[in-house]
Chain A
């Protein structure tokens, strides 16, 4: 038996989508629909080639906020379970950054919740990314 991993994690290491889906599905045989989102590092952004992305986070707030998102999603959409994993450190173009999996009795809430979680995560979780390009490194700075 592998180690039971928390449903919400921030980590440096890559993750296995299969493992996360298996862990989600194991929580309830009533789960009729599982939706997933995988955020990947693109090799092109804002007109520049990107070789790698590095992430910084306010850990004290980031993990609790992600845990809140999971709890809110479960309540709001009537989910059976949800998992959220975000990497930190450096990822190369093509690597995985964030994974969300939602499970519900039916497909509609699972799909809606999955989208809701990633949209909310981008607004609420204190993580910042810096892109490495031939022109140098640059933090992505959405306008306030």
Chain B
């Protein structure tokens, strides 16, 4: 199972802070994004970066590990 977290405006559009997604062998960050984008297109309009287990990931082709934590985030507005 992959834990997918959302915050701020993305969470508001998804309607939740957290989804649990079934893990598939070899699943990449891009594939996960594509799957969720289909279900939540309005939310993913805002997504511009992703993190895996607390680390920003630019390479979307990276395969995910089972039980990892993924966050799809919009541009930050802190400070």
Closest to B69 in A: A60
Is the CB–CB distance between B78 and A57 below 8 Å?
yes
Is the CB–CB distance between A61 and B8 below 8 Å?
no
Is the CB–CB distance between A141 and B79 below 8 Å?
no
Q: Is the interface of A mostly helix, strand, loop or mixed?
A: mixed
Number of A residues contacting the other chain (C-beta, 8 Å)? 29
Q: Please encode chain B, from 46 to 79, with 1 for each CB lying within 8 Å of some chain A CB and 0 for all others.
A: 1110010011100000000000010101111111
A127 contact from B11, B46, B71, B78, Cβ within 8 A:
B78
Min distance, Cβ A59 to any Cβ of chain B, angstroms? 9
A61-B54, A144-B47 in contact; A121/B78 too (CB < 8 A)?
A: yes
* A123 contacts across to B, CB distance below 8 A: 76
Number of B residues contacting the other chain (C-beta, 8 Å)? 22
Is the CB–CB distance between A128 and B74 below 8 Å?
yes
A64-B54, A141-B9 in contact; A129/B77 too (CB < 8 A)?
A: yes
Q: Is B12 close to A, CB under 8 A?
A: yes
A61-B56, A141-B46 in contact; A121/B7 too (CB < 8 A)?
A: no
Q: Is A70 close to B, CB under 8 A?
A: no
Q: Is B14 close to A, CB under 8 A?
A: no
CA distance A140 to B46 in the complex (A): 11
Is the CB–CB distance between A118 and B79 below 8 Å?
yes
Is the CB–CB distance between B54 and A122 below 8 Å?
no
Min distance, Cβ A15 to any Cβ of chain B, angstroms? 15
Interface residues of A (CB under 8 A from B): 39, 55-58, 60-62, 64, 86, 97-98, 118, 121-130, 139-144
Instruction: Give 29 CB contacts A-B under 8 Å.
Output: A56-B7, A56-B8, A57-B7, A58-B7, A61-B55, A61-B71, A118-B79, A121-B78, A122-B76, A122-B78, A123-B76, A125-B76, A125-B78, A126-B7, A126-B71, A127-B79, A128-B74, A128-B76, A128-B77, A128-B78, A129-B8, A129-B78, A139-B8, A142-B74, A142-B76, A142-B77, A143-B75, A144-B47, A144-B75
